[in-house]
Chains A and B, each alone.
Chain A
Amino acid sequence: MSLVVQDLTVDIAGRRVVDGVSFEVPDGARVGLIGESGSGKSLTALAVLGLLPDGAEASGSVRWNGRELIGLADRELATLRGDEIGIVFQEPRTALNPIRTVGRQIAESIRIHEGVSKKDAAARAIAEAARVALPDPERIVARYPHQLSGGQRQRVAIAMALACRPRLLIADEPTTALDVTIQAEILELMLSLVKNDGMSLVFITHDLAVLSQIATHGVVLEDGRVVEDAPVSQLLTTPSSPVTAGLLRDATATLWRPGGAE
Chain B
Amino acid sequence: MSDPSTGSGTTTGSATDAVARRSRWRWLRRLWQLSTGRFGIIVVLVVLATAVTAGLWTPFDPQQVEISNRWAAPGWPHLLGTDGSGRDILSLIMAGARTTVFVAIGAGVVATVIGIALAALGALTARWMRESVAVFVDILIAFPVLIIAMMISAVWGGSLAVVIWSVGIGFGVNIARVTRPELRRVLHSDFVLAGRASGLTPLQNLMRHLLPNVAPVFIVQLSWAMAVAVLAEAGLSYLGFGAPVTEPSWGLLLAELQQYITIHPLSVVWPGLAITITVLGLNLLGDALRDATDPTLSRGRDRLHPPRGAIRHVPEVVA
Contact in complex: B199, A81 (CB < 8 Å) = yes
Contact in complex: B7, A144 (CB < 8 Å) = no
A78 surroundings in chain B (CB, below 8 A): 196, 199-201
Interface residues on A, range: 35 or more
Contacting B at CB under 8 A, from A86-106, are 86-87, 89, 91, 94-101, 103
What's the minimum C-beta distance from A186 to chain B, rounded to whole angstroms? 13
Bound Cα distance from A193 to B3, whole angstroms: 11
B9 surroundings in chain A (CB, below 8 A): 123-124, 126-127
Interface centre among B295, B296, B319 (most CB of A within 10 A): B295
With A124-B9, A126-B7, A157-B194 as contacts: A94 and B189 at CB distance below 8 Å: yes
Nearest B-chain residue to A84, judged by Cβ = B199
Residue B2 at the chain A interface, CB threshold 8 Å: yes
B190 surroundings in chain A (CB, below 8 A): 89, 91, 94-95
B74 surroundings in chain A (CB, below 8 A): none
Nearest B-chain residue to A106, judged by Cβ = B198
Instruction: Annotate B6-23 by CB proximity to A: 1 below 8 A, 0 otherwise.
Output: 011110110111011011
Beyond the given pairs A80-B199, A99-B296, 16 more chain A to chain B contacts, judged by CB atoms under 8 angstroms and listed by A's residue number, are A79-B199, A87-B194, A99-B213, A99-B295, A112-B200, A112-B204, A127-B5, A130-B4, A130-B7, A133-B2, A141-B16, A144-B296, A148-B318, A149-B317, A151-B319, A160-B194
Partner of A149, one of B16, B20, B296, B318: B318
Query: Which positions in A face B, CB cutoff 8 Å?
Result: 49, 51, 74-75, 78-83, 86-87, 89, 91, 94-101, 103, 108-109, 112-113, 118-119, 122-124, 126-128, 130-131, 133, 137-139, 141-144, 146-149, 151-152, 157, 160-161, 179, 182, 192-193, 196
Bound Cα distance from A96 to B191, whole angstroms: 5
Partner of A98, one of B202, B295, B317: B295
Query: Which positions in B face A, CB cutoff 8 Å?
Result: 1-2, 4-5, 7-10, 12-13, 15-17, 19-20, 22-23, 189-191, 193-202, 204, 208-209, 212-213, 293-296, 298, 301-302, 315, 317-319
B195 surroundings in chain A (CB, below 8 A): 97, 108
Contact in complex: B194, A96 (CB < 8 Å) = yes
Contact in complex: B198, A108 (CB < 8 Å) = yes
B213 surroundings in chain A (CB, below 8 A): 97-99
Contact in complex: B295, A126 (CB < 8 Å) = no
Q: What number of A-B contacts does a CB cutoff of 8 Å give?
A: 140
What's the minimum C-beta distance from A65 to chain B, rounded to whole angstroms? 17
Contact in complex: B4, A82 (CB < 8 Å) = no
Nearest A-chain residue to B318, judged by Cβ = A149
Contact in complex: B198, A112 (CB < 8 Å) = yes
Contact in complex: B8, A137 (CB < 8 Å) = yes
Contact in complex: B12, A126 (CB < 8 Å) = yes
B16 surroundings in chain A (CB, below 8 A): 103, 119, 122-123, 126, 138, 141
Nearest B-chain residue to A108, judged by Cβ = B198
A148 surroundings in chain B (CB, below 8 A): 318
Contact in complex: B193, A126 (CB < 8 Å) = no
With A97-B213, A99-B295, A179-B319 as contacts: A122 and B20 at CB distance below 8 Å: yes
Bound Cα distance from A108 to B19, whole angstroms: 17
Contact in complex: B198, A147 (CB < 8 Å) = no
A103 surroundings in chain B (CB, below 8 A): 16, 19
What's the minimum C-beta distance from A207 to chain B, rounded to whole angstroms? 21
What's the minimum C-beta distance from B167 to chain A, rounded to whole angstroms? 29
A112 surroundings in chain B (CB, below 8 A): 198-200, 204
Nearest A-chain residue to B6, judged by Cβ = A127
Contact in complex: B23, A123 (CB < 8 Å) = no
A142 surroundings in chain B (CB, below 8 A): 19, 22-23
Contact in complex: A119, B17 (CB < 8 Å) = yes
A89 surroundings in chain B (CB, below 8 A): 190, 193-194, 197
Partner of A143, one of B4, B8, B294, B301: B301
Bound Cα distance from A75 to B196, whole angstroms: 10
Contact in complex: B295, A82 (CB < 8 Å) = no
Bound Cα distance from A148 to B295, whole angstroms: 13
What's the minimum C-beta distance from A127 to chain B, rounded to whole angstroms? 3
Partner of A144, one of B12, B194, B295: B295
Bound Cα distance from A86 to B199, whole angstroms: 9
With A97-B191, A142-B19 as contacts: A109 and B293 at CB distance below 8 Å: no
B19 surroundings in chain A (CB, below 8 A): 103, 141-142
User: Can you report 12 A-B residue pairs in the complex whose CB atoms are below 8 A from each other?
Assistant: A94-B191, A98-B295, A122-B16, A122-B17, A123-B9, A123-B16, A124-B9, A126-B8, A126-B12, A127-B4, A144-B295, A149-B318
What's the minimum C-beta distance from B286 to chain A, rounded to whole angstroms? 17
Bound Cα distance from A131 to B1, whole angstroms: 7
With A149-B318, A160-B194, A196-B1 as contacts: A123 and B12 at CB distance below 8 Å: yes
Bound Cα distance from A123 to B317, whole angstroms: 27
Contact in complex: B13, A119 (CB < 8 Å) = yes
Nearest A-chain residue to B205, judged by Cβ = A78
Nearest A-chain residue to B209, judged by Cβ = A97
Partner of B296, one of A82, A95, A98, A127: A98
Interface centre among B15, B190, B315, B319 (most CB of A within 10 A): B190
A83 surroundings in chain B (CB, below 8 A): 199
B17 surroundings in chain A (CB, below 8 A): 119, 122
Bound Cα distance from A102 to B112, whole angstroms: 30
5 tightest A-B contacts by CB?
A127-B7, A149-B318, A123-B9, A82-B198, A82-B199
